[in-house]
């Protein structure tokens, strides 16, 4: 399973910094560098994407 996440209370850059502080790390799955999302892996190696668009909270 691959999860995509969107921040609801901060922009993508702030969320990226927060996730990296929590132990996520960049993951290379063949992206070109022009994507609007970041591919990360959690401390256990599970990959997920941090999307750029902000969503309204549910």
Per residue, the 3-state secondary structure of the chain, as one string, reads CCEEECCCCCCHHHHHHHHHHCCCEECCCCCCCCCCCEEEECCCCCEEEECCCCCCCC
pLDDT of 8? 84
In a domain, 56, yes or no: no
* Cβ contact 51:6 at 8 Å: yes
Beta bridge partners of 3: 48
pLDDT of 40? 96
In a domain, 29, yes or no: yes
| pLDDT averaged per 10 residues in sequence order, the chain, 58 residues | 87 95 94 91 95 71
Global pTM value: 0.83
In a domain, 58, yes or no: no
**Number of domains the chain contains:** 1
Beta bridge partners of 5: 50
pLDDT of 14? 95
Dihedral sign from CA coordinates of 23, 1, 54, 57: negative
In a domain, 15, yes or no: yes
In a domain, 12, yes or no: yes
pLDDT of 2? 79
User: Which range marks the domain in which residue 18 is found?
Assistant: 3-50
């Amino acid at each position: 399973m691959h999860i995509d996440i969107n921040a609801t209370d901060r922009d993508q850059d702030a969320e990226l910094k927060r996730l990296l502080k929590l132990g996520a790390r960049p993951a290379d799955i063949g992206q070109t560098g022009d994507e609007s999302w970041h591919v990360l892996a959690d401390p256990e190696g599970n990959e997920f994407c941090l999307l750029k668009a902000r969503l309204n909270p549910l």
